[in-house]
Homo-oligomer: A and B are copies of this chain.
């Protein structure tokens, strides 16, 4: 046992995605604590370039579940949050100080600014996850809302320069899911420089493939036994959401 283990690290290491929730809504206090925790995360240059939309309206939740690829748990949970990159507020802050749209445009449309917004929103989201899990709640991130950003944006009435990045289901867990083994630590963690020894890298991935194959087989009574690299090849062969660059241009984020 590590000497550095504590309750928080145990909660972190115990993370798994929950895809079935009890029919019990979060309280206003739980929602507020989760949002406050999100806001406590670091933010680049203090810009706080994100917004969070909490969805209670059952018809909106159902519509989102459908848009995300018919994932029932998007509508059936304790609460559904949508984390958005938000440069609309930043633009407004500039206008309050007399900046014209033209003055602000170069910053707002830069790839750097886009990265800052994605990073800010994601730091906030992961804090929300930790807060929720520490309360005994389960969570599941929903990237599927990026399947149809135009429709999601219409539904949530997001203005220009606001991008719904992902959803987050939160609620009381109604299923038990297993922890998926992660890549070998030495494949993720490099010391002083990136390890470009491809042979060693491949060896590590082969070991990981065996581990993942066993993991799937034991969960499905042998029906499924795919390797990690096999799943990744499938992922690569099926390009997804290729409309996003054009969509970003339409909402005045041309990524210059």
Contacts of A112 in B (CB 8 A): 146, 240-242, 244
Q: Check if A51 sits within 8 Å of B194, measured CB to CB.
A: yes
The answer, among B15, B44, B139, B244, for a CB contact under 8 Å with A115, is B244
Contact at A255–B256, with CB atoms within 8 Å? no
> Told that A60-B192, A123-B125, A159-B196 touch, could you supply 18 new A-B pairs with CB distance under 8 A?
A2-B29, A2-B33, A4-B29, A8-B130, A9-B131, A12-B127, A12-B130, A45-B143, A48-B182, A96-B202, A96-B205, A99-B237, A107-B236, A108-B236, A111-B255, A112-B146, A115-B118, A156-B194
Residues from chain B with a CB closer than 8 A to the CB of A126 are 41, 122-123, 126-127, 130
In contact, A39 and B188 (Cβ under 8 angstroms): yes
Q: Kindly state whether residue A151 has any CB partner on chain B within 8 Å.
A: no
Bound CA–CA A67/B70 (angstroms): 47
Can you sample 24 A-B contacts with CB below 8 Å? A7-B8, A8-B8, A35-B185, A42-B141, A47-B235, A53-B189, A54-B189, A54-B192, A56-B192, A93-B205, A94-B229, A97-B230, A99-B236, A103-B237, A107-B235, A107-B238, A112-B240, A115-B244, A119-B122, A123-B125, A126-B127, A126-B130, A157-B193, A157-B194
Q: A6-B135, A237-B99 are in contact. Are A93 and B190 (CB under 8 A)?
A: no
B-contact bits for A151-194, CB 8 A (1 contact / 0 none): 00001111100100110000000000000101101011111111
Interface residues of A (CB under 8 A from B): 2-9, 11-15, 17, 29-30, 32-33, 35-42, 44-48, 50-57, 60, 84, 89-94, 96-99, 103-104, 106-108, 110-112, 115-116, 118-119, 122-123, 125-127, 129-131, 134-135, 139, 141, 143, 146, 155-159, 162, 165-166, 180, 182-183, 185, 187-194, 196, 198, 201-202, 205, 228-233, 235-242, 244-245, 248, 255-256
Contact across chains for B53 and A194 when beta carbons are under 8 A apart? yes
- A127→B185 CA distance, assembly (Å): 15
User: How many angstroms from the CA of A112 to the CA of B244 in the assembled complex?
Assistant: 6
Tell me, in angstroms, the Cα distance from A30 to B5 when the chains sit together: 9
Given A15-B41, A194-B156, A194-B157; A232-B90 close (CB under 8 Å): yes
Interface of A is mostly: helix
Distance between Cα atoms of A6 and B8 in the complex (Å) = 10
Distance (whole angstroms) from the CB of A185 to the closest CB of chain B:
6
Instruction: Decide: B42 and A93 in contact? CB cutoff 8 A.
Output: no
